[in-house]
Chains A and B, each alone.
Chain A
Amino acid sequence: MLTDFPVTGKKATRDGFGDGLLAVGEQHSNVVALCADLIGSLKMNAFIKAFPDRFIQTGIAEANMMGIAAGLATAGKIPYTGTFANFSTGRVYDQIRQSIAYSDKNVKICASHAGLTLGEDGATHQILEDIGLMKMLPGMTVINPCDYNQTKAATIAIAEHHGPVYLRFGRPSWPIVIPESMPFVIGKGILMQEGTDVTIIATGHLVAYAMEAVQKLKEQGISAELINIHTIKPLDEEIILDSVSKTRCVVTAEEHQCNGGLGDSVAQLLARKNPTHQEYVAVNDSFGESGTPEQLLLKYGLGPDDVIAAVKEVMKRKGL
């Protein structure tokens, strides 16, 4: 693994959310939490035990939960809503759009079980469109951290940011690569590995796979630069433009549809400021299915070898 970012353990990003929620609850008396009947899945128990009067169980009624959160925010609270990513976005898009985003409400929409790595429950629950849905909303900040430590730090950091935030994380136990002490700065990407031949820009769970790919590419004599983009909106344009001006080709990697995800944000930036050859590692206009997280990521073309194949393809095009 990368020397500056060794794997230090394994834990789910949703655990990072649960531990971060408790910590941010201790720091800010205005933080309140809501959940639509998924307390255990969202790891919200510790917060609820510590602050029973600052928690609202809404039942399986996500639309109502988003409205209640907007009302709490109106009165100066900092509400954190918790449910699966599917029910945090697609199911309640209009509620978020009108009562939260358009109404400038300081609501933190915290979404677990995003993407294919939800696993065995299958496509009904595996939302792969949520980043696109959320980033299209004016004023919405979209964050997709890569591991336990980054999710915990992000959960705490978003309380200091005034405005609606979509915080996306997942279900499976996943390698921890970000140091516990690393501060989370919204909108600032992290240069995880310097390289000269290609830029790999990864978000969420795919950061760990991209790290594996970088290591294997190194063994094959290819020098890849790796950027961890945890904040998809606002995008850290500087770190991306600096990197591609050096490498002149880019691969984006994410657990999301090609359409509307990180790759599209990068492509939009590059098309305007520095047109660059790009390959996507993302789900190609398809729903998921049941399986283990690892099986699904490999089947849908999101594995470390898929990142390597994309690197080789884009480098070939660069050389033409």
Chain B
Amino acid sequence: MPTNEELNKIASQVRRDIVRMVHQCQSGHPGGSLGCTDFMVALYFHALHHNLPFSMEGKGEDLFFLSNGHISPVWYSVLSRSGYFPISEMATFRKINSRLQGHPTTHEGLPGIRVASGSLGQGMSVAIGAAFAKRMDKDASLVYVLTGDGELDEGQVWEAMMSASHHKIDNLIVTVDWNGQQIDGATKDVMSLGDLEAKWKSFGWMVLHMNGNKMSEVVDTLAQAKALTGKGQPIVILMKTDMGYGVDFMMGSHHWHGVAPNDEQKDKALAQLEETLGLLLRHRA
């Protein structure tokens, strides 16, 4: 099991991958990807019990669904660096004939992906379905899903929240990337989320909080969430992150939600991120 220090090193490499992927095609969503990097690294290299080779049905292993599919660069990086597909394939991101589509898809057969996402609000429902199947199959492993905070504007999310607690889906851990930003601006200006904790609680969920850009806190909170499964309630982690975390000029603004860095900005960003290639990145729980 990697230490937090090792996880931080992996995260640094993943952030480099994100910047390079988005830069090489001059397209994609770096802001949310960088903000969620620590969470995704902690998940794939520490918390998630997952198996290779990839199996779509995922029986006997933990499953992850990315609902906010636009942060595909961070997912592609952790998938490739944990052995799902060749690292060199990241260079095809968003290019013609690639398995690394702009938004994640099963259609091109990329290992690690179980459902397409990008049109927002759908991932939690799919995760609930997968969690139901595990319950029916008496499979004790867990289902994780990441959703954006702007994504909570979608009504389907609230349908899913209501149904998960009604059906006592207690093998599900949802994480909300609470960066307070969406395309048109701050969430408080576009569509206020109000008292997010009270909303989830009133829908029957157990609510945890964490700083999603502090590795030790992410690792500990994921462990805490795991310990709360099986108690008749679904679990949500409200994860505070900084959009663009790790690259100083991308942080704290919605500007970098869906903008690619130019050559100069790419170099400036990479200079801030330690290169950790060569580290043993493949980890199997």
A residues sitting closer than 8 Å to B (CB atoms) are 32, 53-54, 56, 58-59, 61, 63-77, 79, 94-95, 97-99, 102-105
Choice from B115, B124, B130 contacting A103 with Cβ under 8 Å: B115
Interface of A is mostly: helix
Choice from A53, A63, A103 contacting B136 with Cβ under 8 Å: A53
B155–A63 contact, CB under 8 A? yes
Residues of A within 8 A of B65 (CB): 71
Cα-based distance from A59 to B129 in the complex (angstroms): 15
A98–B118 contact, CB under 8 A? yes
Residues of A within 8 A of B119 (CB): 94, 97-98
Of the 9-residue stretches B24-32, B160-168, B193-201, B218-226, which lies at the interface with chain A?
A: B160-168
Q: For this complex, into which size category does the number of interface residues on chain B fall?
A: 35 or more
A99/B125 contact (C-beta < 8 A), A71-B115, A74-B56, A74-B115 known: yes
8 new A-B contacts at CB < 8 Å, known A76-B57, A103-B115: A65-B125, A68-B128, A71-B127, A75-B137, A77-B136, A95-B122, A98-B116, A98-B117
B163–A59 contact, CB under 8 A? yes
A64–B125 contact, CB under 8 A? yes
Cα-based distance from A255 to B106 in the complex (angstroms): 35
Cα-based distance from A76 to B139 in the complex (angstroms): 13
* Chain B residue nearest in CB terms to A62: B159
* Chain B residue nearest in CB terms to A76: B57
Cα-based distance from A255 to B225 in the complex (angstroms): 52
Cα-based distance from A94 to B57 in the complex (angstroms): 23
A102–B130 contact, CB under 8 A? no
B97-130 with Cβ < 8 A to chain A: 105-107, 114-119, 121-130
Whole-angstrom distance from the CB of A78 to the nearest CB of chain B?
11
Residues of B within 8 A of A54 (CB): 136
B residues sitting closer than 8 Å to A (CB atoms) are 56-59, 63, 65, 105-107, 114-119, 121-134, 136-137, 155-156, 159-160, 162-163, 166-167
Residues of B within 8 A of A64 (CB): 125, 128, 156, 159-160, 163
Cα-based distance from A56 to B160 in the complex (angstroms): 13
A69–B105 contact, CB under 8 A? no
* Chain A residue nearest in CB terms to B154: A63
* Chain B residue nearest in CB terms to A68: B129
Cα-based distance from A146 to B63 in the complex (angstroms): 41
Q: Which of B57, B119, B156 is the most central at the interface, judged by chain A CB atoms within 10 Å of its CB?
A: B156
Whole-angstrom distance from the CB of A184 to the nearest CB of chain B?
27
B132–A56 contact, CB under 8 A? yes
Residues of B within 8 A of A102 (CB): 105-107, 116
Cα-based distance from A76 to B137 in the complex (angstroms): 10
* Chain A residue nearest in CB terms to B58: A75
Cα-based distance from A70 to B126 in the complex (angstroms): 6
Cα-based distance from A217 to B127 in the complex (angstroms): 56
Whole-angstrom distance from the CB of A54 to the nearest CB of chain B?
7
* Chain B residue nearest in CB terms to A75: B133
Residues of A within 8 A of B63 (CB): 74
**5 residue pairs from A and B, CB less than 8 Å apart:** A32-B136, A67-B124, A68-B126, A74-B129, A103-B105
Whole-angstrom distance from the CB of A51 to the nearest CB of chain B?
10
Whole-angstrom distance from the CB of B214 to the nearest CB of chain A?
31
* Chain B residue nearest in CB terms to A72: B129
